[in-house]
Structure 1
């Protein structure tokens, strides 16, 4: 059972902003950690920037999530990551790299981070290249939820779809909720699904 949350904010946001999700998620009484990005941004570029450009900021973000999860003082299977936008991308990347044993990851408007050094830019990835999703974490037991609008201005739906498939391949029980039309914000059906995950026995 989930007993603690790491709430990961998006670009320009803060841990205080993310605490606004505690009520909608039914997380009152849970242990909460809210890591803060320097300058309120985990990285200065698109989350689909080349790996070399993302390496430093991403490593720092992953370390911040590690520290936040440890600070809860709970077994890893009692901890869930909940991120929005940049924070959702960071949560998913953490899960794919270091998520073994975690209870859940919930990515509200997010996808796995980065692009490869080869290949051609595609319209489906907003002019970015794809990458090799060569993760080797064992995510057996992890429950994962990804949400994305069909026309999200920041998160290509194609990357959200691929992210669901990658987590599933790694052993997670993954689900993608696609919201119709344009948008970039948590939606009620995503919040309901997240709440169900957090309160599952």
Structure 2
């Protein structure tokens, strides 16, 4: 089982839990730093640590086999966190996913493979994973779950075309999808994204 860093309110004192998924080369502690900017005071925070600091070795749009078995193992790490929350009596609509970059891709991918009514899915620069999008991989119904994806129009790692195709597929699974795109070329999280998420999902 992957190491999980916990922060925020104790699980037994909180009605909302955020699973926070870090990017490539970062760590669980770094993604928890977002609690300074996001409205997470009432949340229990769980941040799993990727083995070796990466959830999968190559680009998220590389041939699928190139990222195995790391990709499947990473999906299972997130699944174990979610199943543990269900075992503790939490409902899916009390669970939120927050990720940046590689962690954003993994957040979208896990939630879409297991679509149900979540509290929200917040993807700071990410899209669904795979050399080609395969709608058959995704099942369930988001039942109006708010999903946010923000990114540069010309991000060096995440093509705009993949974000747009991901948003459409996620919308077709029943989510309320919001995308925000920016003219800069930075691979980062912008204040405008923070503001939108705080006002509309983490309210």
TM-score range, shorter chain: 0.7 to 0.9
1:43 matched to which residue of 2? 56
Partners in 1 of 2:170 and 2:72 — Cα distance?
20
* Residues 48 and 2 (structure 1), Cα distance of their counterparts in 2 relative to 1, 3 Å cut: farther
Q: 1:178 to 1:100 in 2, by over 3 A?
A: same
Partner of 2:155: 152
1:85-104 paired onto structure 2 within 5 Å:
85-104=101-120
TM-score by length of 1: 0.86
Note the aligned Cα RMSD (angstroms).
1.7
Q: Offset of 1:71 from its aligned partner?
A: 4.2
Partner SS for 1:147: strand
Q: Distance in 1 between matches of 2:190 and 2:48?
A: 23
Q: Which residue of 2 aligns with 1:28?
A: 41
Name the stretch that deviates more: 88-97 or 58-67.
58-67
Query: For the Cα contact (< 8 Å) 2:115–2:173, is it kept in 1?
Result: no
Q: 2:100 aligns to what?
A: 84
**Would the aligned equivalents of 1:2 and 1:198 in 2 still touch at CA under 8 Å?**
no
Q: Tell me the residue number matched to 2:172.
A: 169
Q: Name the structure, 1 or 2, with higher relative contact order (CA <8 Å, separation 6+).
A: 1
With over 3 angstroms needed to count, the CA separation of the structure-2 counterparts of 1:53 and 1:143, relative to structure 1, is same
The answer to whether the 8 A contact 1:2-1:103 is kept is no
Q: What is the TM-score with the length of structure 2 in the denominator?
A: 0.85
Runs of 4+ in 1 over 6 A off after TM superposition: none
Q: Distance in 2 between matches of 1:53 and 1:24?
A: 35
Structure 1 residue 106 and structure 2 residue 136: aligned? Answer: no
1:132 matched to 2:113? The reply is no
Please list every run of 5 or more consecutive structure 2 residues that lacks an aligned counterpart in the other structure.
1-13
Q: Say if 1:102 and 1:142, in contact at 8 Å, map to a contact too.
A: yes
Q: May I ask how many residue pairs the two structures share in their alignment?
A: 186
- Partner of residue 9, structure 2: none
Is 1:6 the equivalent of 2:8?
no
Residues of 2 paired with 1:63 and 1:195: CA distance? Answer: 29
